[in-house]
């Protein structure tokens, strides 16, 4: 390795949206930038997916720390999983740190024993041989930062998630002056957020969203229910102001909304008067036009507040005909059908529904559109460019944007690629490391084998075969077969045929004095062959052999 070589190893977020995690390596030091999760797109009983950490775990003595850009789940969610394996310090802005502590507390980490360090914009800190400077960027969550990092190869800038909005609710603008200054000093490499590369122009300002929501709430004579992404602190700021202006009290529904309000308040990002929020049962008794409900579950998550409100099954709050439900959110691709069903459930119950479809300004993205991405490149003027945070499609389009803007050295990399760069050596790929997703449930990893089994069970159903052997090792009775979730005309006579086939196969196997596992396999194949022949199905076959012991 050359002395000026910097290695960048994306473990998540390159080639996908979400689960952002990037390792930087130089000399004997490794530092991790962001450590996020993603959520399953299929229902296989998992709840959270985090990056494979093999690369870090195999070099655990050289990992100097984790540096966080902001508090979204796709940037902080995997921290407990990694800290479970290695003891390293975590640096994060105050708001993200509040959320990290909440999560680590739930995981029963001893917070006082952990080296958790709060970062501040403009204040540099060292992690191993790297020097970091957090820079303010505007985003949908509060206290988001980009990072300028002094490395062996030169200064690199990582944008984190950002947008350029002249009027964010918290008044914290992306620090374009500092970014330009860094550009003047010379930036070796820019890594920039590709999420919205398909969106033309610039993202709408949060101020327009605030104005639109204010108008909607002012015109409402009933309860107003606002669905938001729980972490959207910019939106919470506006909603608090609107509630106060229109004489409404706020009811918070959903654990994630309550957690985010609590954390944002504790770090001074949300300064609501103490009587603004009322408990659900108090709000339920108040006149309808004095209540604003803020609820989570805009993606129609089945257990979330909005879904339960739509069916009248929320345990702590009921809506009435005429109440106004506002989806101040976008629909994440893939959730469209479920979200339309949720709109339908509200409409069926007599509520009014407002969404981006009817009022385009009820939501604005927290991610830069193309013109803002271009402006970032023009401010920083990097010699090299590596697009991050996007599927391969997004990375390609962002790379093209950078080339058009005059950056000569542009590379597209995906999770697991080892990317190298030197002071004068261009970006290059040098091999691959293990990468991918670890499926977990309640904090515990689910093995690939279990996932495969679950997929098979769900797709094909299961056939159980019970074989009883007597104390001499002969069949004690006819095998018993039962089916669960198997499609097709599986009439009684098919099962009887399968039972006979199994009985025959077991008899033959016993005569041949085969090993126990061969007996099981013979029974499995015999059962499966009959079911397949009569129904065209190949269910998952589970064979149990019971042996009677002479006592």
Torsion of CA 523, 526, 530, 536, to 10 degrees: 90
E strands present in 450-537:
462-469, 480-484
- Residue closer to Zn ion (CB basis): 12 or 154: 12
Tokens 């939106």 -> residue: 235
Query: Which pair of structure tokens corresponds to residue 402?
Result: 């950078």
Q: What is the distance between the alpha carbons of residues 510 and 470, in angstroms, rounded to a whole number?
A: 12
Confirm if 530 and 477 have CB atoms less than 8 A apart.
no
Q: Which is nearer to Zn ion, 38 or 155 (CB)?
A: 38
Question: Which residues does residue 66 pair with via DSSP β-bridges, in sequence order?
Answer: 32, 90
Site for Zn ion in 243-272 (CB under 5 A): none
CB closer to Zn ion, 71 vs 539:
71
- Kindly tell me which of 8 and 307 has the beta carbon lying closer to Zn ion: 8
* Positions in 179-238 near Zn ion (CB under 5 A): none
Query: Using CB under 5 A as the criterion, what x/- string covers residues 91-110 for binding Zn ion?
Result: --------------------
Nearest to 315 by CA among 342, 280, 350, 339: 280
CA 392 to each of CA 15, 419, 509: distance values in angstroms, whole numbers, following the listed order: 5, 16, 53
74 or 499, CB closer to Zn ion?
74
Site string for Zn ion, 147-186 (x = CB under 5 A): --------------x-------------------------
Least Cβ distance, residue 38 to Zn ion (angstroms): 10
CB of 158 to Zn ion, least distance (A): 12
Rounded to the nearest whole angstrom, what is the least distance from the CB of residue 234 to Zn ion in the complex? 12
Given the complex with Zn ion, which of 144 and 251 has the nearer CB atom? Answer: 144
User: What strand order describes the sheet that includes 437-441?
Assistant: 48-51, 437-441, 444-445
Strands (E), 203-355: 224-227, 249-253, 291-295, 324-327, 352-354
Q: How many helices (H) and strands (E) does the chain have?
A: 16, 26
Could you say which residues in the range 474-533 bind Zn ion, by CB under 5 A?
Answer: none
Q: Which positions from 283 through 322 interact with Zn ion, judged by CB under 5 A?
A: none
What's the CA gap between 256 and 261, in Å, rounded? 9
Nearer to Zn ion, 34 or 323 (CB): 34
Of 72 and 158, nearer to Zn ion (C-beta) is 72
Q: How far is the CB of 133 from Zn ion (least distance, A)?
A: 20
Q: Is-contact 468 475, C-beta < 8 A? A: yes
Stretch that binds Zn ion, among 66-74, 111-119, 197-205, 300-308 (CB under 5 A): 66-74
Tokens encoding 177: 């002056």
> Total residues at the site for Zn ion (CB under 5 A)?
3
* Nearest distance from C-beta of residue 19 to Zn ion, angstroms: 9
Instruction: Return the number of the residue (74 or 175) whose C-beta is nearest Zn ion.
Output: 74
**Nearer of residues 5 and 161 to Zn ion, judged by Cβ:** 161
For the CB of residue 69, give the shortest distance to Zn ion in the complex, in Å.
Answer: 8
Distances 96 to 395, 396, 515, 530, 541 between C-alpha atoms, Å:
26, 30, 58, 58, 48
Q: Which stretch binds Zn ion (CB under 5 A): 68-76, 238-246, 437-445, 539-547?
A: 68-76
Considering only residues 395 to 424 of the shown chain, the ones binding Zn ion according to CB under 5 A are: none
Q: Closest approach of Cβ 54 to Zn ion, in Å?
A: 23
Q: How far is the CB of 180 from Zn ion (least distance, A)?
A: 23
Least Å distance between CB 175 and Zn ion? 17
Give the whole-angstrom CA distance, residue 12 versus residue 446.
19
Spatial CA neighbour of 36 closest among 16, 54, 55: 16
In the complex, least distance from residue 159 CB atom to Zn ion, rounded to whole angstroms: 11
63's tokens: 């990992």
Q: How far is the CB of 389 from Zn ion (least distance, A)?
A: 6
Strand (E) positions, 13-137?
21-26, 29-35, 48-51, 63-67, 90-93, 116-119, 125-127, 130-136
Tell the smallest beta-carbon distance from residue 529 to Zn ion (Å): 51
Binding segment (CB under 5 A) for Zn ion, from list 67-75, 196-204, 439-447, 543-551: 67-75
At how many degrees (to 10) do helices 255-266 and 94-106 cross? 130
The b-or-e profile of 466-500 (16+ CB within 10 A means b, else e) is: bbebeeeeeeeeebebebeebeeebeeebbebbbe
Nearer to Zn ion, 96 or 543 (CB): 96
Residue 161 or 206 with smaller CB distance to Zn ion: 161
Footprint on residues 69-88 left by Zn ion (CB under 5 A): 72, 74
Partnered with residue 35 across adjacent β-strands are 21
**Residue 171 CA neighbour count, 13 Å, CB half:** 2
Residue ranges binding Zn ion (CB under 5 A): 72, 74, 161
């Amino acid at each position: 390795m050359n002395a000026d070589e910097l290695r960048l190893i994306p473990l998540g977020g390159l080639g996908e949206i979400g689960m952002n995690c990037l390792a930087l390596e130089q000399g004997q030091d490794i530092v991790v930038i962001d450590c996020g999760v993603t959520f399953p797109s299929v229902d296989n009983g998992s709840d959270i997916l985090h990056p494979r950490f093999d690369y870090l775990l195999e070099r655990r003595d050289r990992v100097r720390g984790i540096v966080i850009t902001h508090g979204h789940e796709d940037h902080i969610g995997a921290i407990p999983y990694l800290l479970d394996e290695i003891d390293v310090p975590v640096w994060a802005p105050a708001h993200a740190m509040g959320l990290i502590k909440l999560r680590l507390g739930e995981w029963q980490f001893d917070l006082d024993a952990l080296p958790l360090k709060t970062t501040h914009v403009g204040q540099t800190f060292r992690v191993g041989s790297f020097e970091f400077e957090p820079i303010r960027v505007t985003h949908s969550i509060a206290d988001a930062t980009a990072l300028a990092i002094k490395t062996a190869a030169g200064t690199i800038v990582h944008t984190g998630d950002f947008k350029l909005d002249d009027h964010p609710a918290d008044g914290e603008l992306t620090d374009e002056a500092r970014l330009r200054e860094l550009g003047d000093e010379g930036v070796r490499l820019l890594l920039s957020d590709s999420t919205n590369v398909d969106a033309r122009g610039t993202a709408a300002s949060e101020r327009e969203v605030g104005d639109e929501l204010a108008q909607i709430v002012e015109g409402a004579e009933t309860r107003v229910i606002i669905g938001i992404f729980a972490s959207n602190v910019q939106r919470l700021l506006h909603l608090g102001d609107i509630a106060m202006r229109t004489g409404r009290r706020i009811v918070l529904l959903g654990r994630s909304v309550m957690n985010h309000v609590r954390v944002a308040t504790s770090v001074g990002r949300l300064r609501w008067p103490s009587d603004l929020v009322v408990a659900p049962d108090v709000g339920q008794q108040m006149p309808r036009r004095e209540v604003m409900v803020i609820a989570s579950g805009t993606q129609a998550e089945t257990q979330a507040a909005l879904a339960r409100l739509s069916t009248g099954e929320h345990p702590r709050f009921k809506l009435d005909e005429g109440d106004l439900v506002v989806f101040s959110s976008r629909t994440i691709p893939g959730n469209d059908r479920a979200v339309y069903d949720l709109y339908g459930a509200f409409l069926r119950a007599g509520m009014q529904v407002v969404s981006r479809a009817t009022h385009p300004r009820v939501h604005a993205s927290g991610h830069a559109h193309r013109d803002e991405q271009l402006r970032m490149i023009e401010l920083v003027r990097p010699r090299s460019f590596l697009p991050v945070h996007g599927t391969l499609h997004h990375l390609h389009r962002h790379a093209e944007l950078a080339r058009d803007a005059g950056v000569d050295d542009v590379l597209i990399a995906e999770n697991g690629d080892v990317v190298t760069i030197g002071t004068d050596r261009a970006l290059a790929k040098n091999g691959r490391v293990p990468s991918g997703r670890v499926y977990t449930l309640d904090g515990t990893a689910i093995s690939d084998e279990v996932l495969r089994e679950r997929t098979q069970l769900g797709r094909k159903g299961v056939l159980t075969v019970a074989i009883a052997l007597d104390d001499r090792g002969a069949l004690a009775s006819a095998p018993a077969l039962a089916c669960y979730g198997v499609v097709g005309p599986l009439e009684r006579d098919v099962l009887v045929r399968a039972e006979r086939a199994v009985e025959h196969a077991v008899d033959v196997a016993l005569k041949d004095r085969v090993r126990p596992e061969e007996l099981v396999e013979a029974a499995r194949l015999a059962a499966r062959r009959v079911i397949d022949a009569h129904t065209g199905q190949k269910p998952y076959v589970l064979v149990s052999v019971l042996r009677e012991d002479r006592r």
